[in-house]
Amino acid sequence: MKVVIQKGHIIDPSQGIDGIGDVLIEDGKIKEIKIQNTEVRNKKSEIRSQKSNPPLPPFSKGGHGGIKDSELRTINAEGMFVIPGLIDMHVHLREPGFEYKETIKTGTAAAIRGGFTTVCCMPNTFPINDNASVTEFIIRKSLDGLCTVLPIGAITKVQEGKELVEMGTMKDEGCIAFSDDGLPVMNSLIMRRALEYSKAFGLPIISHCEDLTLSEDGVMNEGLLSITLGLRGIPAESEQIMVFRDILLAELTGGKLHIAHVSTKGSVKLIRNAKTRGLNVTAETCPHYFSLTEDAVKNYDTNAKVNPPLRTKKDIEAIKEGLKDGTIDVIATDHAPHHRDEKLKEFDLAPSGISGLETALGLSLKLVDEGVLTINQLAEKMSLNPARILGLLTPHLSSLITGPKGTLAVGSDADITILDTEKEVNVEASKFLSKGKNTPFDGWVLKGAPLITISKGRIHECQ
């Protein structure tokens, strides 16, 4: 089947496209793009911005490639943005082992609803994804999922931080990065070796930066509020010490380092400095770190308990600045669904995490509204940059990732998000497709939402 998306405002940072036009999809791939009167065939020079908006000429010869109208599905995207499908490089899908929290099926349904066409799942399942057979299981299961699932392998066996996994065989099975997320790799020698191997395999090491000796038993940001609430605090230094250590190790090894969920002003500063020095370091933050301060836990609301914890206004400002100037490359969700009963425990005992897939785009579009990011930069942070970091911009040998992804270049996977930046949506956690209803954003009104998510040419309505 062929699909044509008509009259949308097409944004594709990978090709410098920013204009009204049509996209033709055929057999799950981008077949052709026309921007007003200009045919786009992978050449930036062909893109022209025009003030007038004349009718578009038909696709190829014979109108829509000579196919009959009945074989062509048309999507009217007038007034909408058409951007490369969102890629979330940090989710917890919980399968295998914790299916009561989430499954690959429910997690990918939540992803599609949130505008994501690809999600990368962290290895802290049960069993942990620390060997090729678990990777193979996740990939097999993901074939029932609605979007592409790319597994991230553990750095160390059983995430114990002691012995490296077999990165080569796990890469061959389909792992696209390595991380012990949920836990840091406390042993610097192990982290050094991981970065050395990752360099050889060309895959990133994603670091959950936390000095456990400083954060031990902490449940929220350390400061006046934690004292007032009588809760044990986690200082910003717990994150920053490890960010700094890992930057030094990336410099030592030349390995590819990606810092997960940046939450503090000091981390932004360290990463900015590393980038100025030309190091191979990238970073992500999550919507909750630029949307909420520690005040969200004032009522001991466990839905606002995350690791790293929510910080202060100053940190939020620094994170926005970091997103704006390119220090922070990626917005990821750290989607961490939990069962209701677990989050009902008292604050000290409740698990950390937010079910983030279905609110991430709306919360991030707020940054566009506030003038922190342009819509182009948003598409970079939520699609192009994750694709670049994970090596998805080129066609992939793996049948799972046929690719390219993160781009609307001709021949890429037809992964597209059509969004309406004006649509107002009430967040209703009880209606999430994710099994995890744990969100501090329940009841919020978000301006901007995905309307249609197209994953490898398959069309899904989001609203």
Q: List residues with catalytic annotation.
A: 334
Applying CB under 5 A, the span of 143-151, 221-229, 333-341, 430-438 interacting with Zn ion comes to 333-341
Residue written as token pair 């996740």: 138
**Could you tell me how many residues of this chain bind Zn ion (CB under 5 A)?**
3
Q: In whole angstroms, how close is the CB of 153 to Zn ion at the nearest point? A: 14
Please state, in angstroms and rounded to a whole number, the distance separating the CA atoms of residues 344 and 322. 34
Q: Are 9 and 19 in contact (CB under 8 A)?
A: yes
- The reply to whether 208 sits near Zn ion by the rule CB under 5 A is yes
Kind and range of the H or E run holding 179: strand 177-179
Q: Which residue type occupies 254?
A: G
Residues of the chain by 3-state class (helix, strand, coil), percent to 5? 35, 25, 45
Q: Using CB under 5 A, which of the segments 8-16, 55-63, 126-134, 181-189 binds Zn ion? A: 181-189
Q: Assess 334 for contact with Zn ion (CB under 5 A).
A: yes
Type of residue found at 107:
G
Instruction: Closer to Zn ion by CB, 12 or 181: give it.
Output: 181
Stretch that binds Zn ion, among 26-34, 177-185, 377-385, 421-429 (CB under 5 A): 177-185
Q: Quote the least distance from Cβ 307 to Zn ion, whole Å.
A: 6
Residue among 258 and 388 whose Cβ is closer to Zn ion: 258
Check: CB of residue 157 under 8 Å from CB of residue 132: no
- Please list the alpha-helical segments (H only) found in 151-264: 167-173, 188-201, 212-215, 224-229, 236-253
User: Closer to Zn ion at the Cβ: 262 or 418?
Assistant: 262
Instruction: Closer to Zn ion by CB, 9 or 208: give it.
Output: 208
Q: Which is nearer to Zn ion, 261 or 437 (CB)?
A: 261
> Which window, 29-37, 48-56, 174-182, 364-372, contacts Zn ion (CB under 5 A)?
174-182
Residue 79 beta carbon to Zn ion: minimum distance, rounded to whole angstroms: 36
On whether the CB atoms of residues 117 and 85 are closer than 8 A, the answer is: yes
181 near Zn ion, rule: CB under 5 A: yes
Q: How far is the CB of 356 from Zn ion (least distance, A)?
A: 10
- Residue 386 CB, shortest distance to Zn ion, in Å, is 15
Which residue type, as a one-letter code, is found at position 375? I
Distance (Å, rounded) from C-alpha 53 to C-alpha 39? Answer: 15
CB nearer to Zn ion: give 2 or 92. 92
Residue pair 447/420 in contact (Cβ under 8 Å)? The answer is no
CA dihedral over 165, 167, 169, 174, signed as positive or negative:
positive
One-letter identity of residue 21:
G
CB of 234 to Zn ion, least distance (A): 13
Binding site for Zn ion (CB under 5 A): 181, 208, 334
